[in-house]
Amino acid sequence: MRTGQEPRARVGVGEPWNSPEGEPAPSPLGVTGWVLVALRLPALALVVFGGLALLLALRLLERPLFGLRRPLTPFITQGVCLAVLAILGLRLEHWGRPMRRRGAIVANHASWLDIFVINALQRVYFVSKSEVAHWPVIGWLARATGTVFINRDAREARLQNEIFEARLRAGHHLCFFPEGTSTDGQRVLPFKPTLFAAFFAHGLNEILSIQPATLLYRAPEGEDSRFYGWWGSMEMLPHLLLVAGSRRRGQVTVVFHPPLAVAAHADRKALARACEAAVRACMEPRMEEADG
């Protein structure tokens, strides 16, 4: 978590998005809210850091036996994420099934919660900008869970594609947010095709699929519909306190769309457009309501 002028922790690449409606007015926590914060934060710390310690210990055995493959530790990550959502009172449901075939998941990006939500349903490895690897706490968690770090420098595109290829051939399911930034959860921004290029390298397009997924958050009763969104200049700690102090439960629904065969698309731009269309289709009613 950051304070002051430290860089904001966000998965993906790109400039922060800012809502034309501005940020929602913060709701006062009240006595009950602060009591919930005092109960939930220690529980979160115990689950997250206890899970991290267990994962690192198991990884000491897993690495020499399996190398790049991780047949055991992703289950710890998945269990931790399920526990985090339960502690925060965020109900989780999903439509469709996470794919089992080789490839990646792409989704709209609404919040820091997205990482816990997707990991709770599918054992994946996220793609993040390289700066995150050096951030306190967040960087440790990201490295331990096998996050793939990328640089925005075009000169390193070839190296990054090689890293992607190695992870995909090892059977890893990657996950990234092609919008390149997070929003208020009420819209889908245009998908950037850059990261899709790796799926066309060295014949990978013949064996890989991409599964689009739509994340739909429903705020606790009485709260702003953008309650779980985290974007622009919003700070991590205040938003965490807001979510942890909520007296009513919210909900997030993940819609897993049918996987798209990479080979069925002419290039990265066509694949990005197809994924965006699938994700956007579930979000359009919400977008129309926001615009109205």
pLDDT of 25-57, one tens digit each?
778 899 999 999 999 999 999 999 999 999 999
Q: How buried is residue 136: exposed, middle or buried, by Cβ count under 10 Å (0-12/13-18/19+)?
A: exposed
* C-alpha closest to that of 232 among 27, 12, 10, 26: 10
pLDDT at 8 over 50: no
Most confident of 16-30, 151-165, 198-212: 198-212
195 band by pLDDT with thresholds 50, 70 and 90: confident
pTM: 0.87
pLDDT in the model for residue 4: 33
Which pLDDT value is given to residue 289?
63
Least confident of 142-151, 187-196, 247-256: 142-151
Q: Which residue has the higher pLDDT, 168 or 3?
A: 168
Please compute the mean of the pLDDT values over residues 275-287 and round it to a whole number. Answer: 87
Q: Minimum mean pLDDT among 28-42, 113-127, 275-289: which range?
A: 275-289
**Does the CA dihedral 58-59-65-70 come out positive or negative?**
positive
pLDDT attached to residue 185: 93
**pLDDT of residue 182 exceeding 60:** yes
What is the Cα 257 distance to its own chain's centre? 16
- The upper half-sphere exposure of residue 104, i.e. CA atoms within 13 Å in the direction of its Cβ, equals 28
pLDDT in tens, 60-100: 988 888 877 788 888 999 999 999 999 999 999 999 999 98
Residue 16 in contact with residue 231, Cβ under 8 Å? yes
| CB distance 76 to 54 below 8 Å | yes
CB 250 within 8 A of CB 228: yes
Q: How many CB atoms lie within 10 A of CB 237?
A: 10
State how far the Cα of 37 lies from the Cα of 195, in Å rounded to an integer. Answer: 38
* Residue 142: predicted pLDDT: 81
pLDDT of residue 134 exceeding 80, the answer is: no
SS (H, E, C) the chain: CCCCCCCCCCCCCCCCCCCCCCCCCCCCCHHHHHHHHHHHHHHHHHHHHHHHHHHHHHHHHHHHHHCCCCCCHHHHHHHHHHHHHHHHCEEEEEECCCCCCCEEEEECCCCCHHHHHHHHHCCCEEEEEHHHHHCCCHHHHHHHCCCEEECCCHHHHHHHHHHHHHHHHCCCCEEECCCCCCCCCCCCCCCCCHHHHHHHHHHHHHCCEEEEEEEEEECCCCCCCCCCCCCCCCCHHHHHHHHHCCCCCEEEEEEECCCEEHHHCCCHHHHHHHHHHHHHHHHHHHHHHHHC
Report the alpha-carbon distance of residue 259 to residue 99 in Å, rounded.
7
Q: What average pLDDT is seen over the chain?
A: 86
Higher pLDDT, 169 or 121: 121
Alpha-carbon span 177 to 109, nearest angstrom: 6
Check whether 267 has a pLDDT greater than 90: yes
Q: Is there a contact between 181 and 16 (Cβ–Cβ < 8 Å)? A: yes
Q: Give the pLDDT band (50/70/90) at residue 12.
A: very low
**What is the arithmetic mean of pLDDT over 268-288?**
88
pLDDT of residue 155: 64
Higher pLDDT, 108 or 10: 108
Q: What is the pLDDT of residue 163?
A: 79
